[in-house]
Structure 1
C-alpha cells in the first residue's frame, strides 16, 4: 500500500480495536483513512472470518472507495472489495469489505438486527452527520447490546473534523486516535467578500481568473448550489480567452449529475490540460479529485431545513462551519502543496460556527420515526444519540405517519405501516406505492416514485406531472440516460410491489387524474384548491399558500396536488414546480384516512348556517345542509358570533346603557371600598369585557329560538340583565345610584354614570344656596359640571363650597356682562336657586 500519513497510527488503531469494541479515528483530508484503514484491519484476529461494513455518505464516494481499494489488491470490484448503492451492487461470496451508502445499514439492521457475519462497522466521514448515519449508529449500539454478547460488533467512527469529546462519551469513552496531518501544506489567501454591487458569481470568476493565471494545477471551486455552478461556468467561459479555454476543462460536480459525469470531474485532466471543477459540498468528503492543488471556497453551502409546522423542507444558503472550511481546504493538499482562496476575511472566519448543524436537528424525521417504530421503539430517548431528535419535529413526524395509516388503534405499527417500513423509500412514497398498487395503478405509482427521487428534467415545461409521465411511457428523444435510470428505479419498485398489487389496472379513474390522486396519497397535506377561478394561487390543505406560474396550463384546474413545493425565505407564498390534476370526488372516495367530517354551525350573512362538511386539512371539499342541528350547537355558534362582532350587536338603548352604567358604578364602588368597610361586595360586573367573557352564564339560557340577527334584536335585554341582580339589589339601585338627582332649583337632573366619578351637569344658577356637594351611594361626591346659560361648563368640581368661596367671583365678572338676563348675585349662597332668567323670576 502507498505510504500515507494514516499509516503512522494504524498500529495504535489496531491495538485500540483489539482491546475495545469502539474506536474513533480523526484524520485530516488526504491522510488515506478511507482506503487504508479497512484494508489494514481485514486480517485482525478479532475479525476472524467476519466482514467489514463501511458507510459512505454518497454513492460516488462508495464506488470510488471500492474501486481504489480493489486496485490496491490488484482485484476487480466485487471480489474482496464490494459495494452496494441504490439500484446497484457488486458483491460476491468472496467479499470481505462492503462499502455501502448510509441508508443501507438501516435496511440490513431491520432484516437482521444481529448483523450476523459482520464484525466491524465503519462510519466514514461521520462529520457530515446525516440522518441515516445518526440513526444507524443508534440502532447499531442497541442491536449489539441485545444480540452480540458472544461475538462483539465493533464500531469505528472516522472523520477529518469531529467533536471528539461528545462522540467519545457516546461510545463508552472509546479511545480517540488522531493522525498527524495532511500530506502537504496548504497556504491561505483571504480575499474578503465581494465588493458592493458585485455578485458572488462574478467575485468567484474574478478569483478563478487570478488562480488560473498565477497558480499551477487543477482548481476545485466550492459553490452553494447548481444555479451558482451554471452561472459561474457561463461567466468563466466568456471571461477566458480562446487559447486559455482550450487548455482548461470546466467540469461541474454535484449530486444530481449522473455518476459518469461525476467521475469525469474526478478523473485526472488529460496531459497538457488542467481542470476547473465547480462543485457543491459533495466534494468535501472522501472524493480525491485528481490533480487539484488550488481550492477556491465561496464560504457558502445550501442546507435543507425542515419546518414541522408546515411539513415542508426549505433550502437556505448559509455560511459554512469552520469544520467544513477545513474539509474544503484539505482538498488542495492531497497530492502536493496547495493554495486555498477563501472568499471572506480572517476576522469573519473567526466568527464561523465550529460545526455544521446535524441533519437530525433540522431534517424531516418521518423516515426515522417509521424505522424506530418498525424496530419497536416508541420513544427515541430510549436510544443513545449524539443529538436527541427534537421532540416537536418527532411528534409531527408521528402525526404524519398516523395520517398515512402507519399505526393501529393501539398506537403500534399496523400491517400497512410494516409494509411501508419494508420499502426503500420515504414513508410518503411508500404509502403512495402501496395504495397505488392496491387500487390498480401500481405502474404509474412506481414511475411517480422514481420521478420524485430525481431532478426534474422538464422544469421549464410547466408543472403538470403528466408531461413527465408521457415522456416515460414513450421512447425518449431527450434525457435518455435519465430515462433509463428512472425506468430501472420504477422496475425495482414494481418488483417490490408485486405481492400486494391489484391484478387489474384501474380504468375507472381518468388517465389525466390518476397522478394527482397518487400524489395525494403521498402528500395529503399538499392537496390544493384554487383561491379563485383563473387564479394561479392555491390554498394547500396544510393552510399555506402556493402558486404556479401564471401561464402554466395547470392553472386552469381548480384542484391539484403539489408533488413538490419550494418554500422561499422571504415569502409567505410557496412555489409549485410539479403537480397533478385532482378530482375532488376522489378525495372522499380514496383519501378517507386524511379527511374529516364535521358538523359546522356558524353565523353567515346575519343568520345561522348549519352544514355537514367534508374537509382535508384546512380545505373544505364538500358541504351539505345539516337537517337537525342541536340547540346546544346553535347557541354556541351564536355566542361565538356575538364575541366576534362585539357586545354592541345586542339591542342596547340609551336607557339600558344608563342602567348598566349605574350598576357598574356600584360594582366599582364595591371594589374600591371593600377594604375600607364600604358597600357589601355583591354588585355584579356588567362591563363589556365581563359580559363577553361570560355569555354562557347570563345570555345563553335565553337563546333557544335564535337563528337570525332579527331574533337577536328582539331580545328583552333589560330583563335578561335584571336577572343578574338578586333581591334586594334592584330596590337598592334606586337608593344608592339614583337615575336623577333633585337640585336646589327643584329640577331632576339625570346623572351620567358613564364617567368616573358620576357627573351631574347642572346650570350654575340652579345650585344657588347649596353649600355642600351632592352625594350618592354612601357619600360618594358627584362631579359637578356647573353650566353657563349656553350649557357650557364654567367649572368642574367636587368641592362646591370651595367654588363659591374662591372661583365664583371670577366666573361672575366674566359671565355678568355676557349673560345679563341671568342672575349673578354677589352672594350666591343667599340667592334663590333658579333655572330661569331674571325676568321670569320677578
Structure 2
C-alpha cells in the first residue's frame, strides 16, 4: 500500500463486489482507515447506482459538513455539486448531487415523507457504534423499506469499534468486511488528579504538563460546556505563552466557530481545543498530537419512574476512551494523558449504553405511529425499546393529542412529526401558532433546546423562563450585547436568531408586531402539561404527575399559585426546578379543562370526628377546586366510617361493660371451638364489613357510632346454637352456695376467674367449671372487706389445708364474722354472725 493511500482502499474492491451481489453489508474499519470519506466515493460508478443517490448518515452536524467538504475537495469540486450535505438549518445540495451526507433526523424525515426512498440507491450508516436513537430508528425503518418496498435498496453499516456479528444478523446474515486502520503509535500516560481537586483545575494542570512534554496541538475531552468554560478560565489564569490559543468545540457552537476549532491556526500558534464528545469520532483535527482525556461524558437519561429526564455526568467506556486516545495518532505519533489511574481504567464498562435503552422514547413512539407501527416488536432492532419507557412515551403523545385512544397517529400527530422536533415542542409550536402567538412560541422552543442564556449564578436565583425570553428579545433588537451579563457568546446569539427564523419559516408565520411575554406559562403548558404544578408552600410544588419539585431559592416564582416546570433535575425525593413559568389559574381551566375530572372524596376526618364529603376538581394529582358534596350515598358514608375505624381503631365504638364482657366471652369460646368468629382486634378489623357495616345507616360521626349497641352487634355474629352454647359454657355469672350470683371475669381467656367472699363458698366441695367442664374457674377468695386472701383453682385442696391458716388470720381481724371449723358443713353466708 502506498504511504499516502488510506487503508480502506485495500478493501473497497471487495466491498464493491459484495454489493454487486448483495444488498447489505457491515464494514468494520479501525480509526484512520478513511472509511467515512472514501467509501461513498467508491460506489459512484457502480451500475446499480445509475440515476440514484447515496445517503450517508453522520451522528453530528459538524461531522456531516466536514465529511462532505473533504469528499468534495478530493473531487476538485465545491460542496453541493457531486457531494453535498443536509443538516438542520443548513443544506448544500443541487440537482447534480449524488452523495448526500445528512444527520440522522434528516433521514427519518425522508423515510416518513417517502417510504420507498425514490431515487435513493444506498444508505450508509456511519459511526454506528455510537448507537444514537436516531441511527437505531433509521436502520429499523430502512430495513422495513428494504424488505417490503425496495428489495434493491443497499444498506451499509460502518463502524470503528462495533461488535459486527449482531448487526450482520440483523441485516439478514450480511457479510462482514474488516479493514485495519492507519494510526501512529500513541503513548498512554495515566495522570490522575486528587479527588479533592475540582476537575477543571486538575485537567488544566495536566494540559500545561502535556504542552511542556510534547509537541503539536492538544485536544482535550471534557463532559460539557460548563467544564469547557471553567477549564479555559483556569488556563488563562495560568499565564500561557502568546503562541498558544484556546479553541472551544461543542454541538451548540455556530458552524463558523466549529470550523475554526478544527482547523490549524493560520498564524502557526499551538491550539488547545477544549471539546465535548463531539470530536470523539468522524473528525480529523489537523495538527493534533496530544490528547488529554478527563474520562467523563455527559448524557441525558430518562426515568420511566418519574417521567423526567436527568442530565448526568458519567465515566466513559473503554471503547470511548480508546476512540479518544486514537485522536492523537491520526497524523503522527502522539501522546494521550488520561486523568485517571490504570486500575480505574480496568473497571470501566466495555461500551456505552445505547441511547434507546436510556432515552425518552416519546419521539420514537411518534415516529413509529406515523410510520404505521403500534408496537416496536413489529420492526427489527438491535436493542428492542424498553416497554415501560415506550408506553410512557405513548401516554404522553395521547395527552398531547398526537395519538388517539387506540394508539393510531392523529392528523395533529402527523403535523407534529413533520416538524422534526421533540413532540412536546412540536405540539407547543402548533398550538402557539393556532392561538396567534407563533412568534413567541418559536423563541420558547429555541430557548428550551439551548443552554441557559444567563450566568449560572443568576440562573440559580431566577428560574423564570420569561427572563430568558426578554433577554433574547433585547438581543434581537441589538439593545444588549451577548456579554451583557449573560453566559453566552456572540456566535451563539446569531445561531439562536437563525433558528428562530428557520422555525418561523417552517410554521409559515407572518411577522407579528408584539410578543406578549406574559403568555410564556400558557405556551409552556402545551409542551409540558404533565408538569403543571401547584404551590405547596416553602418553595415546594406538586406536579400534575404526582411528583414533588422545589425551587432552591426564594424568587418571583415562589409566590405563584401555579407554575409550569419545563426543566426539573430528577434527584432525590423532590426534583429541583431549573426552568419554569408562572401560570394563571384561569388559563388552566380554559385550556386544560378537558383533562380535568371530578373526584368525590368522602373521608373520615379525625380532627372533627365525623365523615367529611367533598367534590374535588382534579388535574392529575393537583386539586384545582373543592366544594361540599351535599348528598353522599350511604355506601360512601359507610366506607368512610370503616376507613376511620381502620385508622383510629375500635375505640370509636362504644365499649361498655356489657360489650367488653361479650367480646371476652366469645374470645374464650374461640379457644375451644375453632368455628367461632374471631373477635380479637385483628379479627374484628379484618371483618368490619361483615359485622359492622350492615348497622351503619345514619352513622357518620363519633357521636352516632357511640350509640351503637356493640354487644348486640357481636352477638349477631353467632348462630342460634352458638348463643345457647355461649350461655351454657361461658356464663356471665355463677351462683355460689350463699345464693349470690357472681360475675365471671373473662379478661384473661386462659384463666377466667370468680372474685367472691370466702364465706359465700362454704359447703362447695369442688371448684366450679365452665366450657363444658373443661376449664376450672380460678377463685379469688375475698375477705369481708373484699380484699383477696387466697387465689386457687383447686377449692377442695384449699378447704383441706389452706383454709385453716387463712381462718386464723381472718378470725382475729374480723371477729364478728362466722369462721367455722368445718367449712364444708358450714352455712354459706354474706352476713356477719349477728345478722345470721
TM over 0.5: yes
Structure 2 contact 596–620 (Cα < 8 Å) conserved: yes
Higher alpha-carbon deviation: 724-733 or 784-793: 784-793
Deviation at 1:206, TM superposition (A): 3.1
Residue 220 of structure 2: SS of its match in structure 1? Answer: strand
Structure 1 contact 513–582 (Cα < 8 Å) conserved: no
Structure 2 contact 58–103 (Cα < 8 Å) conserved: yes
Residues 1:380 and 2:383 are matched in the alignment = no
Residue 673 of structure 2: SS of its match in structure 1? Answer: helix
User: 1:298-377 alignment to 2 at 5 Å?
Assistant: 298-377=294-373
CA distance in 1 between partners of 2:536 and 2:244 (Å): 52
Q: Residues 189, 629 of structure 1: CA spacing in aligned structure 2 closer, same or farther, 3 A cutoff?
A: same
Structure 1 contact 524–594 (Cα < 8 Å) conserved: no
Q: Residues 839, 587 of structure 1: CA spacing in aligned structure 2 closer, same or farther, 3 A cutoff?
A: same
Please, which of 4, 7, 19 is the counterpart of residue 5 of structure 1? 7
Please, which of 354, 379, 403 is the counterpart of residue 407 of structure 1? 403
Structure 1 contact 299–343 (Cα < 8 Å) conserved: yes
Q: For residues 131-167 of structure 1, what are the alpha-carbon distances to aligned partners after superposition, in whole Å with 9 as ceiling and x for unaligned?
A: 1111111111111111113xx1111111111122221
Please, which of 677, 701, 704 is the counterpart of residue 708 of structure 1? 701
Q: Which 5+ residue runs of structure 2 have no aligned equivalent?
A: 483-489
Higher alpha-carbon deviation: 769-778 or 194-203: 769-778
CA distance in 2 between partners of 1:638 and 1:721 (Å): 18
Structure 1 contact 4–183 (Cα < 8 Å) conserved: no
Matched residue, 1:153: 153
Structure 2 contact 32–183 (Cα < 8 Å) conserved: yes
Q: Residues 819, 83 of structure 1: CA spacing in aligned structure 2 closer, same or farther, 3 A cutoff?
A: farther
Deviation at 1:797, TM superposition (A): 8.9
Residue 11 of structure 2: SS of its match in structure 1? Answer: helix
Structure 1 contact 269–291 (Cα < 8 Å) conserved: no
Please, which of 260, 263, 266 is the counterpart of residue 262 of structure 2? 266
Residues 1:736 and 2:746 are matched in the alignment = no
Matched residue, 2:47: 45
Matched residue, 1:677: none
Query: How many residues align structurally?
Result: 813
CA distance in 2 between partners of 1:104 and 1:316 (Å): 27
Residues 1:776 and 2:770 are matched in the alignment = yes
Deviation at 1:772, TM superposition (A): 7.0
Q: Residues 467, 769 of structure 1: CA spacing in aligned structure 2 closer, same or farther, 3 A cutoff?
A: same
Q: For residues 711-760 of structure 1, what are the alpha-carbon distances to aligned partners after superposition, in whole Å with 9 as ceiling and x for unaligned?
A: 33333333333332232322322222233456788876655545452442
Residue 6 of structure 1: SS of its match in structure 2? Answer: helix
Q: For residues 441-495 of structure 1, what are the alpha-carbon distances to aligned partners after superposition, in whole Å with 9 as ceiling and x for unaligned?
A: 2222222112212122125252222222223434132235444433333333333
Matched residue, 2:285: 289
Deviation at 1:593, TM superposition (A): 4.2
Q: Residues 383, 447 of structure 1: CA spacing in aligned structure 2 closer, same or farther, 3 A cutoff?
A: same
Matched residue, 1:234: 233
Deviation at 1:273, TM superposition (A): 2.8
Deviation at 1:540, TM superposition (A): 1.5
Residue 174 of structure 1: SS of its match in structure 2? Answer: coil
Deviation at 1:511, TM superposition (A): 3.8
Please, which of 614, 617, 625 is the counterpart of residue 617 of structure 2? 614
Matched residue, 1:530: 535
Q: Residues 143, 196 of structure 1: CA spacing in aligned structure 2 closer, same or farther, 3 A cutoff?
A: closer
Q: Residues 7, 705 of structure 1: CA spacing in aligned structure 2 closer, same or farther, 3 A cutoff?
A: same
Q: For residues 493-541 of structure 1, what are the alpha-carbon distances to aligned partners after superposition, in whole Å with 9 as ceiling and x for unaligned?
A: 333334xx8x99999xx94541101111111111111112xx3222211
Please, which of 113, 116, 119 is the counterpart of residue 114 of structure 1? 116
Structure 1 contact 667–685 (Cα < 8 Å) conserved: yes
Residues 1:489 and 2:490 are matched in the alignment = no
CA distance in 1 between partners of 2:672 and 2:812 (Å): 42
Q: Residues 817, 408 of structure 1: CA spacing in aligned structure 2 closer, same or farther, 3 A cutoff?
A: same
Residue 720 of structure 2: SS of its match in structure 1? Answer: coil
Q: For residues 555-586 of structure 1, what are the alpha-carbon distances to aligned partners after superposition, in whole Å with 9 as ceiling and x for unaligned?
A: 22221111222223xx2222222222111111
User: 1:712-791 alignment to 2 at 5 Å?
Assistant: 712-741=705-734, 750-760=743-753, 775-781=769-775, 784=778
User: 1:191-270 alignment to 2 at 5 Å?
Assistant: 191-192=191-192, 194-238=193-237, 240=238, 242=239, 244-270=240-266
Residue 439 of structure 2: SS of its match in structure 1? Answer: helix
Q: Residues 488, 296 of structure 1: CA spacing in aligned structure 2 closer, same or farther, 3 A cutoff?
A: closer
CA distance in 1 between partners of 2:220 and 2:757 (Å): 91
Structure 2 contact 189–337 (Cα < 8 Å) conserved: yes
| TM-score w.r.t. length of structure 1 | 0.88
Matched residue, 2:487: none
Deviation at 1:218, TM superposition (A): 1.9
Residues 1:547 and 2:541 are matched in the alignment = no
CA distance in 2 between partners of 1:828 and 1:281 (Å): 107
Q: Residues 253, 422 of structure 1: CA spacing in aligned structure 2 closer, same or farther, 3 A cutoff?
A: same
Deviation at 1:689, TM superposition (A): 3.0
Matched residue, 1:515: 520
CA distance in 2 between partners of 1:251 and 1:774 (Å): 103
Residues 1:419 and 2:421 are matched in the alignment = no
Please, which of 429, 443, 447 is the counterpart of residue 447 of structure 1? 443
Structure 2 contact 662–715 (Cα < 8 Å) conserved: no
Deviation at 1:266, TM superposition (A): 1.6
Matched residue, 2:566: 563
Deviation at 1:641, TM superposition (A): 3.0
User: 1:791-806 alignment to 2 at 5 Å?
Assistant: none
Residue 352 of structure 1: SS of its match in structure 2? Answer: coil
Matched residue, 1:674: none
Q: Which 5+ residue runs of structure 1 have no aligned equivalent?
A: 672-680
Residue 314 of structure 1: SS of its match in structure 2? Answer: strand
Deviation at 1:404, TM superposition (A): 1.3
CA distance in 2 between partners of 1:196 and 1:799 (Å): 80
Structure 1 contact 765–833 (Cα < 8 Å) conserved: no
Please, which of 22, 25, 36 is the counterpart of residue 24 of structure 2? 22
Matched residue, 2:64: 62
CA distance in 2 between partners of 1:660 and 1:541 (Å): 48
Higher alpha-carbon deviation: 167-176 or 199-208: 199-208
CA distance in 1 between partners of 2:356 and 2:218 (Å): 33
Residues 1:632 and 2:625 are matched in the alignment = no
Q: Residues 783, 596 of structure 1: CA spacing in aligned structure 2 closer, same or farther, 3 A cutoff?
A: same
Q: Residues 774, 3 of structure 1: CA spacing in aligned structure 2 closer, same or farther, 3 A cutoff?
A: farther
Structure 2 contact 248–274 (Cα < 8 Å) conserved: yes
Q: Residues 670, 336 of structure 1: CA spacing in aligned structure 2 closer, same or farther, 3 A cutoff?
A: farther
Structure 1 contact 5–183 (Cα < 8 Å) conserved: no
Q: Residues 71, 696 of structure 1: CA spacing in aligned structure 2 closer, same or farther, 3 A cutoff?
A: same
CA distance in 2 between partners of 1:340 and 1:831 (Å): 113
CA distance in 2 between partners of 1:292 and 1:703 (Å): 84
Matched residue, 2:486: none
Q: Residues 668, 62 of structure 1: CA spacing in aligned structure 2 closer, same or farther, 3 A cutoff?
A: farther
